[in-house]
A and B are shown apart, each in its own frame.
Chain A
Amino acid sequence: MDLLKRYIPVLFLLTVVVAIQLVTHFTETTYYLTQLTMSAYYSVVVIGLCVLMGYGGQISLGHAGFFAIGGYLAGALATHNLLPIKDHALVVFCNKIGLLVVGKNLYGSDLLTFEPWAACIIAVLAAGLIAFAIGGPVLKLKGHYLAMATLGFGIIIFRVVLASAYFGEADGISEVPGFSLFPGIEVSGSFRARTLNYYIAWGMVICGVVLLLNLIHSRVGRALRSIHGAEEAANAMGVNTARYKLYIFVLSAVFAAFAGVFMTHYNGGIGPSEAGVMKSVRYVAIVAVGGMANLWGALIMGIVLNFLSLRGVFGSYDDAVFGVILIVIMLFAPEGILKINPWQKMKTFFALFVKQDNKKAAEG
């Protein structure tokens, strides 16, 4: 019964995803699918962050960093030619165990690169390990201090990708090949594969949502929420709070990294703006708008706001809009906009005037 209640919204989401695809197909507006696909990938970051922030109670202003680690590593490994150093022991070893593939670049010359799946695994593992390494010390901090520390991490990643030639400096990485998941199913920006990629991205979102919904409603999920509620008491109940915080941090970093890998293959490249601090702020803002401890709220807001942003609705004020959203939400709806009861707000608003009038009447 509980399970049914948990999964019905997922089925509903699946229906909406298919419905949207069919509508765009028949109205010949399939160009919307491109932005919806990208919104889906960003939403994977958002739902992972939502569980960290809303349920675990730990803020991270560095999640664009994990997205970038995933995207950049996968992109670079799958793109950079290893032929000039093909006699290096490490390259020979990787080749022997089948991690490398020979291809051709745009101009027809030979290319020795990592298999995209190998690159994906390396990239996600790297993000997970980095999260594990920095999470240990950083998660001892609380509140503003944790925010500052993760912000610092985000800035480091941003400056590193911007400065290193391997990651293409300001140009980022381009000409990233497609990522063939199964024969015939490839993550790529090719025009013909648009619908397929729409479904790949949404399949990933749905898998992510199901996994996280299960987690939230499990013993571990309760322990995480108890850390958010009262960390000291959680510890006294036998919850190893430090370990749980670390694991959830790593998990959300892995979600971000997966999104980064897929997005890079889909776009055929990645640039330093993906690692920027404003991207991290944007993810946090979306989780806040969705209502912090509300996975569905975060997902819906992640799709809507990212879609609007990608369609260029906010114009060049894009980042400013997300900053404003964050401030407004924190001031007026810390529970998220889906929890606002407009009628109640109006009542309290008018009650204020009535009180003042009564006061005046009493004085007069």
Chain B
Amino acid sequence: MALLEVKNLDRHFGGLHAVNNVSFTVEQGMIKAVIGPNGAGKTTLFNLIAGNLPANSGTVYFNSMKITGRKPYQIASLGLSRTYQNIKLFHGMTALENVMVGRHTRSRAGFLSGMLNLPWTWHEERKIKAKAMEYLDLLGVADSADTEVSNLSFGQQRGVEFARALATEPVLLLLDEPAAGLNIYETAEIGRLITRIRDSCITVLLVEHDMSLVMDISDEIVVLSFGEKIAEDIPQNIQQNEEVVRVYLGDEG
């Protein structure tokens, strides 16, 4: 059984059919990319999987469990984490605190024990902090741990968001355009990082516009156009696929 199974997923906004009867699976331990022209429904697809948007019909199975209809925080606690196309960090908090929130599902101190500052929570806090530092370090942003995130550069913010997503120790990581706004060196760096993440047994599903990155790192690619899946294959075959070429470059005339 695949780790993630999307089955006949459907969502429209008024007259716009953003995601039209899309099905695909993501096997454990692979990097799968979703590509498609602007407005193809890639981000909507992500929002449907992560539970930010309700689907009109269709189901999503995660680890053989039906997750459609669940709240995002419930899905997150099952081991699905994500980043956003337009970075969504917690402003007013430092980089370290941002990543510490990522440890939320892995810790349990509640309202009362927090208010009373019970001794057992101190140990947990130390552990949360150490883990968060580890992930900041992994992303190369440990130096900015105590900086308020609004004061970080775009690249650093992306790093912090990545660290935050990894801090949840996900089984499946959804990356929405991880290379958007990065230069070619940073993009190559992100590519290496994503491969490393996959090698550490985290399955990755990403939306990306940077074709060289997608072709480099993905094991499989799904192509969407106007909400419909038009192809699903390994990168070499996608490059040869006539319909994909037509969607991206237009008809020859």
Interface residues, chain A, with chain B CB atoms under 8 Å away: 3, 211-212, 214-215, 218-223, 225-226, 228-230, 232-241, 247, 251, 293
Contact = CB atoms under 8 A, between A and B. Distances in A.
A236 B81 contact: yes
Contacts of A240: 71, 73
B90 A215 contact: no
A277 to B, nearest CB: 29
Given A218-B114, A222-B100, 12 more contacts: A212-B115, A218-B115, A218-B117, A220-B114, A221-B114, A222-B93, A226-B93, A228-B90, A236-B52, A237-B164, A237-B168, A238-B73
Contacts of A225: 90, 92-93, 97
B76 A238 contact: yes
The 10 closest A-B pairs by CB, nearest first: A229-B90, A218-B114, A238-B105, A238-B76, A233-B88, A214-B117, A235-B72, A219-B109, A226-B90, A230-B88
Nearest to A244: B111
Contacts of B82: 236
A223 B115 contact: no
A105 to B, nearest CB: 40
A238 to B, nearest CB: 4
B24 interface: no
Given A219-B124, A236-B50, A230 B73 contact: no
A264 B117 CA distance: 31
A25 B107 CA distance: 50
Interface of B: 50, 52, 71-73, 76-77, 81-82, 84, 88-93, 97-98, 100-102, 104-105, 107-111, 113-117, 121, 124-125, 128, 164, 168
Nearest to A241: B73
A230 B81 contact: no
B74 to A, nearest CB: 8
Contacts of B77: 238
Contacts of B124: 219
A139 to B, nearest CB: 15
B73 A235 contact: yes
Most buried by A among B77, B88, B121: B88
A238 B50 CA distance: 11
Nearest to B174: A236
B71 A211 contact: no
Q: Is the interface of A mostly helix, strand, loop or mixed?
A: helix
A250 to B, nearest CB: 10
Contacts of A238: 73, 76-77, 104-105, 168
A274 B216 CA distance: 67
Contacts of A234: 90, 101
Contact of B76 (A218, A229, A237, A293): A237
Contact of A233 (B89, B108, B110, B121): B89
Contacts, number: 103
A247 B50 CA distance: 25
A222 B97 contact: yes
Contacts of B121: 218-219
Contacts of A3: 117
Nearest to B167: A237
Nearest to B109: A219
Contacts of B104: 219, 222-223, 237-239
B123 to A, nearest CB: 12
14 contacts: A3-B117, A214-B116, A218-B109, A218-B117, A219-B108, A219-B121, A222-B104, A226-B98, A230-B90, A232-B72, A235-B71, A236-B73, A237-B76, A240-B73
A229 B89 contact: yes
A229 B71 contact: no
A139 B100 CA distance: 25
A222 B101 contact: yes
Contacts of A247: 111
A236 B77 CA distance: 9
A223 B100 CA distance: 9
Contacts of B111: 215, 220, 247, 251
Given A219-B121, A220-B114, A223-B101, A230 B71 contact: no
Contacts of B164: 237
Given A238-B76, A240-B73, A229 B93 contact: yes
A237 B102 contact: yes
Contacts of B71: 235, 240
B93 to A, nearest CB: 6
B83 to A, nearest CB: 9
Contacts of A239: 73, 101, 104
Most buried by A among B76, B113, B128: B76
Given A219-B121, A219-B124, A235-B71, A214 B114 contact: yes
Contacts of B89: 229-230, 233
A219 B90 contact: no
A234 B98 CA distance: 10
A48 to B, nearest CB: 12
A208 B107 CA distance: 25
B73 A211 contact: no
Contact of A293 (B81, B92, B116, B128): B92
A40 B44 CA distance: 51
Contacts of B93: 222, 225-226, 229
A238 B167 CA distance: 11
A232 B84 CA distance: 10
A229 B89 CA distance: 7
